[in-house]
Chains A and B, each alone.
Chain A
Amino acid sequence: MDDLRRVSTATNPDSEAYGFTPDRPVTTIAIPAPPTRPEKPEGLSVVGKSLPKVDAYVKVTGSLKYADDIVLARTVFGRMVRSPHAHARIERVNVERARALPGVVAVVTGDEIPVLYGHLPSSPDETALAIDKVRYVGEPVVAVIAEDELTAEEALELVEVEYEPLDSVMSIEDGLRDDLNKIHEDSRKRANIHKEVHLEFGPVAEGFAGADRIFEDEYFFDGNTHAPLEQHSVLANCELDGKITIWSSTQNPHYLHRVMASVLGMPASRLRIVACPVGGGFGAKTDVFNHEVVAAYASRKLGRPVKFTLTREEVFYAHRGRHPVLMKLRTGVLRDGTITAVKLDTWLDGGAFSSYGVASTYYTGALLPVTYKIPAFTFNGVRVFTNKPPCGPKRGHGTPQPRFAFECQLDKIADELGLDAAEYRRRIAVEPYSTTANQLRITSCGLDQCIEAVNTRGGYSAKHGKLPYGKGIGIAASAYITGAGMPIYRNAMPHSGAIVKVDRSGGVTVFCGVSDCGQGSTHMLATVVAEALGVDIMDVQVFMADTDLTPVDLGSYSSRVTFMAGNAARYAAESVREKLAAVAGPKLGIPPERCGFARRRVFDRDDPGHGLPLLEVFQLAEAHYGTLAGVGSYTPPEGIKGDFKGAGVGPSPAYTYSACVAEVDVDAETGEVRVERIVLAHDCGRALNPAVVEGQIEGSVYMALGEILMERSEYRGDLHKYPNLLEYKTLMSVDMPVIETIIIETDDIEGPYGAKEVGQGALLPVIPAVANAVADAVGVRINANPLTPWAVLKALEEKRTASKAGHASGAASREGAELP
Chain B
Amino acid sequence: MQPGKRVLHLKVNGEAVDVLTETRKTLLEVLREDLNLTGTKHGCELGECGTCTVLVDGEPVLSCLMLGAEAEGSEILSVEGMARGSEPHPLQQAFVATGAAQCGYCIPGMLLTAKALLEHNPHPSREDIREALSGNLCRCTGYTKIIDAVEMAARAETP
Measured CB to CB, the residues of A under 8 A from B are 50, 52-53, 55-66, 68-69, 71, 150, 226-231, 277-282, 311-312, 517-520, 691-692, 694-695, 698-699, 701-703, 724-726, 730-734, 736, 739
Contacts and interface: CB of A to CB of B under 8 A. Distances in A.
Contacts of A66: 41, 105
A52 B42 CA distance: 26
B142 A518 contact: no
B46 A50 contact: no
Contact of A62 (B40, B49, B136, B139): B40
Contact of B101 (A56, A281, A282): A56
B133 to A, nearest CB: 4
B137 to A, nearest CB: 6
A730 to B, nearest CB: 6
Contacts of B107: 59-60
Nearest to B89: A60
A783 to B, nearest CB: 26
B72 to A, nearest CB: 21
Interface in B83-114: 83, 88, 92, 95-99, 101-108, 111
B7 interface: no
B111 A60 contact: yes
Interface residues on B, range: 35 or more
A455 B99 CA distance: 28
B152 to A, nearest CB: 12
Q: Interface residues of A: mostly helix, strand, loop or mixed?
A: loop
B39 A50 contact: no
Nearest to A65: B38
Contacts of B136: 733
A731 B141 CA distance: 11
B98 A736 contact: no
B88 A57 contact: yes
B48 A52 contact: no
A58 B136 CA distance: 20
Contacts of B79: 60-62
Nearest to A519: B102
B48 A312 contact: yes
B123 interface: no
Contact of A312 (B45, B95, B129): B45
A449 B102 CA distance: 28
29 contacts: A53-B99, A58-B104, A59-B101, A60-B95, A60-B96, A61-B80, A61-B83, A62-B38, A66-B41, A68-B42, A228-B105, A229-B51, A229-B106, A231-B43, A277-B103, A280-B105, A280-B140, A517-B103, A520-B102, A695-B99, A698-B142, A699-B140, A702-B139, A724-B44, A726-B48, A730-B139, A732-B134, A732-B135, A733-B133
Interface string B110-151: 010000000000000000011101111111111111110000
Contacts of A59: 95, 101, 104, 107
A53 B80 CA distance: 20
Given A62-B39, A227-B139, 8 more contacts: A57-B88, A60-B88, A61-B39, A61-B82, A71-B36, A280-B105, A695-B140, A726-B46
Contacts of A282: 139
Contacts of A731: 142
B21 interface: no
Nearest to B102: A518
B14 to A, nearest CB: 15
B78 interface: yes
Nearest to B99: A691
Given A228-B139, A231-B43, A703-B139, A52 B104 contact: no
Given A59-B104, A518-B104, A691-B98, A230 B141 contact: no
Contacts of B101: 53, 56, 59-60
A312 B96 contact: no
Contacts of A60: 79, 88, 92, 95-96, 101, 104, 107, 111
Contacts of A736: 130, 142-144
Nearest to B103: A518
B159 to A, nearest CB: 24
Given A60-B111, A277-B103, A730-B137, A230 B142 contact: no
Contact of A733 (B78, B97, B143): B143
B5 interface: no
Given A62-B79, A280-B103, A695 B141 contact: yes
B155 interface: no
Contact of B105 (A63, A279, A732): A279
Contacts of B133: 733
Contacts of B139: 226-229, 280, 282, 699, 702-703, 730
Contacts of B40: 62
Contacts of B38: 62, 65, 68-69, 71
Given A52-B99, A53-B99, A227-B139, A150 B39 contact: no
Nearest to B79: A62
Given A312-B46, A732-B134, A62 B78 contact: yes
A228 B49 CA distance: 11
Nearest to B78: A62
Contacts of A150: 24
Nearest to B138: A229
